[in-house]
Structure 1
Amino acid sequence: MGTEPLRLLFVVTGKDGNSASEVDIIAVHGLSPCSVPDCEHAFNTWRKPPGEKGHLWLQEDLPEYNPKARIFLYEYSSKIAYEGTKGLFFDKANDLLEDLYLERTAVSKFLSTSTAWSWGPFGRATLVNAHANPRYSLIRNSTYGLVFFGAPHEGGEAIGAVAAKIGRSLGLQPKDDIFETLKDGSIFADTLKESWRHQLESHQIVSFWEGIGDVVSRESATFGLSGSRENIVRLDADHRDLCRFDYSMHDQDNSKLVRGNIQALYKGAIRHSEFISQLSPVAEKGEDRFVALRSPNVAGGTSLFAESRAR
């Protein structure tokens, strides 16, 4: 059973008091400084300024553009990356799958959504694990969209080198053992094998990259897929601010680009689910929609899945 909190930020209910949502949006944060508590980092990845008074756009802005979505924020200990233990890394990915499975079986109608993850390797490991375990096949099959915010992939520098750059942005020093773990990159390698490559063409992807700074280059933050499969968008922000926005005009310009792309995936997920339902009466009872968002500050890159950068 999952042990990490899946925080519900928004849900629309019907007259019977049950969820009337059709899409799940799940936001997963990236790497955190060792001194920052997990809960604090999970929320501050997506809100600006940091702290309880900061603007949490996932909760305050996104529902207006995705009214039939359940929006979740996933909180976990990203410090597993510093420990260099692959087994624990994949166990944590399974925790998220189990939490999603339990959330979905708790409602009368499954939801089909994509989320954005903040930590690329973690998000990939989750989908790879879902592919291998029949228990989570519905989650895998219903994940429609993936959104990456400055998540490093294979392009350009080796992923271990990019992870080390992210580590420096978090304040890690070259003498630190955890810095060497990131630089080695071995904990992230397994999520880049053929099992992941073959899944790319099964999802609609949005890749945001940082227009300010060079922590994760455009080449590393994108997959290089065709325009019909991957939409590549430059945000006028540095690595730390790719997926958090305040009320300033500058940040709202970036937020508009993000909201618009997520909304496009949200609508696409609903259309896809309706199409599948027409083809198969069985799918009408169980097909979910996901959008995934992934944040930066990740050594590998979000159902509507959203993944944020590692911070």
Structure 2
Amino acid sequence: MAIEKVRVKINGVYHDLTYNSTSKKYEKTITAPNVTSYNVNAGHYYPVEVEATNTAGTQTTVTDLSPTIGNSLKLLVKEKIKPTINVTTPGAGAFISNSRQPIVFQLRDEANGSGVDITKLALKIDGGTTITNVSAGMVCTLVSNGYDCTYTPPTALSDGAHTVTINLSDFDGNAATQSSRTYTVDTIPPTLNITNPSNNFITNSAALVLQGSTNDATSTPVTVAIKLNNVDQGAVPVTSGSFSKSLTLKSGANAIIVTATDAAGQVTTVTINGTLDTSTPVISTVSITPNPVDAGATMIISVDVSG
């Protein structure tokens, strides 16, 4: 009896094979499914069914469940699109005051992809120990097409610049483009020194030039703001850490508040209190007793002053 027809079924579609007299096999070039086989079943393959019919109409079918050739009827299809990593916090080049700043990021694969293999997550800070999805401080929540993750360092990072790198793969072995993020930790407020005027000053001139210096070893530039009697005095240029500002005092008590803020938002505040006294002393009476006075004798001078 001769073979009349051979066909295969892949992903629900039948394909008729043609006899090759050279190889003496039934063959056909078939385009593979355009979706990964990873999510088809627990074995991550497309089942292939082969059906052969002879001229008498007798038909034989073999599938992936065949005990003899079943393994050759398991079609593995892999997608080639890489998963993605998106770091949302901290921002690139950010200055932060939290030494245990959470690192927030998103892991995604295409809708019909093999999916994010969370076990391949590898996060490092400054090239140190690999942090995985089960490491202390790591929390990853399953969402559509991937995971939303937050890593909070269990111990404080030192002040200064730090670089986070994140690597990932999907279930088909496609490696994501590494995500890298550098930011600076600054937990120390800037220095602020007011050189003029001194606290509790008293002056008879309404014109006052406030002078001072500021610095921050970790995050610059430092911005300076000045309030005189709760009124902002406008921009304060800082040059090489030094600054000055012309102020106009009011008669009586005055309060000057100077704040220095570094790039991480750390603030140092200095308050200077002072008094503007424009009054003029008035001498109303002077008495000398006795007057005249004997040479070498003592006398009392009495002055009545107001103002």
More helix by share: 1
Q: TM-score range by the shorter chain?
A: under 0.3
More strand by share: 2
TM-score of the aligned structures, taking structure 1 as reference length: 0.18
By relative contact order (CA 8 Å, sep 6+), the higher-ranking structure is: 1
TM-score of the aligned structures, taking structure 2 as reference length: 0.18
